[in-house]
């Protein structure tokens, strides 16, 4: 578990060391707000390391999300740093990132500025490869990951959207619930390469939102050829993988899980909103970020 630091300010930390790596709790303060975040650094890193920013879903926190996704174990295996920003309950009583508020959908404003500031703090304290900084999330965290990729495209090389929504698809609470239930928004072009994971039986965030996220990329990448579609099974569930490629590079990929609901696939049941059945969402994200 992350130990929450009582000191507020950039770079403040309480630190515990495990056999695998170092887990610490920190906080970042900037002109648009303060947020705590968990940080996991593997024991051995080979040169400038990739950084993955993981944004939890509503009612979750940083520690819960780290356990449920098992991302720290993959960080040990593949040699990357993981950050888990945590939403303040004073900013949202249920712990949802405010992806639907206009002030939290703009660069240098609101929560995007705070999350970008967290990345800056980590890069200043650790040897991070600036070309390999990624962001991913679940549900409201996935929607905020899309916000980050849209508003800071030079910072984040790729984005992972698990059970999330497209950028700027809502402007208040009412339109957020509408988008969650229908997914009817047609997004503007958004070029950051994306991996989308979504269950086709998700009753919280309609799977139509997955198609909307992909559509935004195809608008930005009109040279994408015919999609590559494969049907597979893994860990007990079947799924359809669709890849859109430009010049040998995947610009948009979706994994739609048959019978899947609103949960992190392949997750650890000790964490909330997890589905132990595959495909393994965390492994798929690492593959897409580091090896695709």
- CA–CA gap between residue 279 and residue 236 (Å, rounded): 8
Q: Is 88 a catalytic residue?
A: no
Rounded to whole angstroms, what are the CA distances from 133 to 149, 270, 291?
11, 27, 14
- CA–CA gap between residue 33 and residue 15 (Å, rounded): 23
- CA–CA gap between residue 60 and residue 71 (Å, rounded): 15
Burial (CB count <10 Å: 0-12, 13-18, 19+), residue 8? exposed
Q: What residues have CB less than 8 Å from 177, skipping those under 6 apart? A: none
> Catalytic: which of 27, 139, 163, 272?
139
132 SS3 class: strand
**What is the residue-wise DSSP string for 179-220?**
HHHH----PPP--S-EEEEEETT-SSS-THHHHHHHHHHHHH
- CA–CA gap between residue 161 and residue 141 (Å, rounded): 8
Residue written as token pair 């990345």: 119
Asked if residues 255 and 213 have their Cβ atoms less than 8 Å apart, the reply is: no
Q: Which are the catalytic amino acids?
A: 139
């Amino acid at each position: 578990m992350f130990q929450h630091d009582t000191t507020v300010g950039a770079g403040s930390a309480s630190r515990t060391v495990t056999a695998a790596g170092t887990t610490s709790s920190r906080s970042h303060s900037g002109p648009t707000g303060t947020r705590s975040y968990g940080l996991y650094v593997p024991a051995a890193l080979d040169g400038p390391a990739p950084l993955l920013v993981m944004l939890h879903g509503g009612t979750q926190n940083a520690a819960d999300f780290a356990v449920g996704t098992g991302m720290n174990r993959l960080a040990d295996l593949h040699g990357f740093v993981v950050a888990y920003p945590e939403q303040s309950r004073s900013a949202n009583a249920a712990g949802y990132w405010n992806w639907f508020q206009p002030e939290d959908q703009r660069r240098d404003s609101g929560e995007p500025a705070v999350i970008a500031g967290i990345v800056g703090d980590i890069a200043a304290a650790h040897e991070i490869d600036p070309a390999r900084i990624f962001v991913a999330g679940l549900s409201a965290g996935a929607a905020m990951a899309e916000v980050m990729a849209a508003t800071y495209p030079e910072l984040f090389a790729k984005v992972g959207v698990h059970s999330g929504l497209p950028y700027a698809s809502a402007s208040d609470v009412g339109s957020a619930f509408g988008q969650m239930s229908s997914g009817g928004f047609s997004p503007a072009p958004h070029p950051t390469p994306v991996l989308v994971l979504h269950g086709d039986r998700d009753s919280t965030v309609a799977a139509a939102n997955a198609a909307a996220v992909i559509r935004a990329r195809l608008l930005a990448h009109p040279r994408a050829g015919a999609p590559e579609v494969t049907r597979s099974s893994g860990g007990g569930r079947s799924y359809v993988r669709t890849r859109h490629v430009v010049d040998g590079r995947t610009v948009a990929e979706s994994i739609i899980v048959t019978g899947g609901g609103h949960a992190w696939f392949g997750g650890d049941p000790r964490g909330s909103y997890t589905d132990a059945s595959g495909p393994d969402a965390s492994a798929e994200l690492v593959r897409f970020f580091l090896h695709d």
